[in-house]
Structure 1
Amino acid sequence: MAVTAQNPPRPYRFDERLRMIPVDPEILAARVAVADPHDFAGLRRLGIALMLLGRYGDALDRLDQALELADTEKRRITVWINLGDVYRYQGEPGRAEVLYRRALDASRALDPDLVSFAAHHLGKSLAEQHRPQEARQLLNEAMRLRVADGDSELIESTRAALDHLTELALPLPPEVAELLDPDAAWSSGHEGRGGNLVRAGRYWIKRGPRAVAECERLIWLRDNGIAVPEVAAFAEDVLVLADTGTGSLAGQAMSPGDPAAGAESPGGQPDPDTVGALMGRTLRALHALPVAACPFDGSLDSTLAEARRAVVEGFVDTGDFDDDHRDRTPPEILAQLRERRPAEEDLVVAHGDFTPANVLRGGVLIDLAALGRADRYRDLALAERDLSGDFGTDAVDAFFTAYGLPEPDRGKLDYYRLLDELF
């Protein structure tokens, strides 16, 4: 393809894993610095350039703006593919797959010209996730369409992906692979909020930016005397946690005679007062840590920004809304959160998703990627909601008594419960 003024050389090339990397980062950074991000095309170009430079958060910001400006289905589909690329490159294949599939479904229904692009990108993503059969099917579909269209450059791109299909699969870092038994049984039925999660034998393995965030928080909490799982290994963006051998307060009944359990109901289920009191004591200890020493931000500024991204990109699960919020849309909830935002935040070291499912027997905390400086009611609201639903009002009363807050602020509890609908 000839290089002309209308067709300048691309600012990237493909590496051995068929991912785009910048040809000249300095020139690319200079282009970013002078870009005028006021229209759809400019925002898209800027988002892609920032992705190439590894500035994934900035890239998502610009592409979200482009998505809000998209006034045709074609434009929305192209941005969904671009957003999928950013999430894939930064190590969040789950979100990337959602966006690619959304783009593929929409293009099949509304814009056939984009089907090959969506299928190609989704195929490469699935290949990276060790799903070669699905990947090959999608890449073959993209190839048929591209051959029919006759674009030699696109044909070659898909042919390269098919030729190197097995090589695209993301390997585990050697330090992690050596730790695992060759016959370890893998399970993907435990995906948690803290990152892509699978179980392999005696270990839990997480990968991606949230796994990196969780590792940093686990180490900090351990150094500050909080009970957390043992980090068995950490390399690149892969976190390996040793299985504690105990279930969560939500997932299993406490065993008779367990010193962490206390009294049980006649049916063998944990006593609601016991569960509530353990949750209260555990949270009180976490919130007692010196907030000024916490290096992680979970404030409303950052949390509302995350919420906005989830709304714009369509990641809010409205089917999981609480009953009293089911008649609201995600944009309506976001607007209400901005309007009702508390004037001040009572900052503590907050878990960020403090529910019975994330507290193990004995008060061990798990799923900690969202831990940071935040209002104490971010934790109190979710604990009250889930304790009430799972164990009843006695557990809630025991929780607030053990925490030391017999008369919580109902307005703030409601606010932070509403906030959680967007996560």
Structure 2
Amino acid sequence: MALLPQEVIRRKRDGGQLEAAEIAAFVEGMTDGSISEGQVAAFAMATWFSGMNRDECVALTLAMRDSGETLDWSALGRPVVDKHSTGGVGDNVSLMLAPIVAACGAAVPMISGRGLGHTGGTLDKLESIPGYDIQPSPELFRQIVDEVGCAIIGQTADLAPADKRLYAVRDVTATVDSVPLITASILSKKLAAGLQSLVLDVKLGNGSFLTDPGETEILARSLVDVANGAGVRTSALITDMNEPLADAAGNALEIDNCLAFLRGEKAGTRLDRVVMAFAAEMLVAAGISADQAEAEVMARRVLESGAAMERFSRMVHRLGGPADFVVRPDIYLKRAPAMVPVPANRDGYLTACETRELGMAVIALGGGRTRPDERIDHRVGLSGLKPLGTQVVKGEPIAFVHAADRQHAEVVRDKVAALYAIADERPEPRPVVVSRLT
């Protein structure tokens, strides 16, 4: 008997549990177009109101994974691992993490995305590099992962096409924040990439999409449980996003920051602690290291030896970038014409910042999108962002604004200065890794 989409919608609307076969048939209808836009929207809203249990969410994730091509890396003979972040400001972790983990012996086929809202996108950052191709042929993608160990690219049309249709509907029906739909959206793409293990960076704080600790833990738990239920060994770290993670926010500036990190110039920073925590998590999940301590020693060794930088350089070149990019980035990365300092407005300690608004300042400069088809200016952004807890004197730069012209730079300078709180007492330091879920 043929599936009646309206019956699936009705049962979910009324709080019923859907069978895996019903979910698979509904997703197939979304993919081939036999289910209408209105029915997809109704399904999304019914799920938003009624939720899904773990089995339903696993079934939805697997059906969306299987709606298109799935990659098979079994011929590589190496563990296949990846990481996903829910997004933040100055979060360029993937750029360094992929080559570090690859240099330790894993394969990292990383499917990344563009900026979303106030958060920066890994693909936008990489497109600061002249010639870098975010959508290589499947054959070239496989070759690079095999030869280099890592490749960071964009989602192809053949990976999880059902997710593209459902996400577009969610975006215009106020159902983006449904935990089951977020879970299935993130994991269907990751599972289609043929991973054996996955580590999730779920952000918490005023620069993330989730600011409530309870809601953050619910999402992290859903992602971990569903991914493991779908057969991929998965853990999650909840990390602090109450200030930018790197000391830069903006596309070319974050590539600069990445190169500085790979040269060993960011040791001891919050960014360093996050990158090393995720490298250790991925190496243990892959079975390359016995425990986190051993894994971190291994990750630091490939960083200090230059092996991680060498992997990054080869990845960039194989994906169309300059062969000498890492040694001569100033020749290739475009620089903003205007740069102005952001002065501290009093003596004291930096105690808080409005992180989301710092991301919006980058967008105001042209470094992010307000519409999906909008071109961005890779040159602009913020650099030299001082971490919270830093002691400053009035007039001292707490950041620098990079802009297309001085007028824009000065407007954003004044906005950024107002986003920081300065007080007489040093604030208590917050852990950058808040918790771990397995």
Which structure has the larger Rg?
A: 1
Q: Which has the higher helix share?
A: 1
Q: Normalising by structure 2, report the TM-score.
A: 0.28
TM-score by length of 1: 0.29
More strand by share: 2
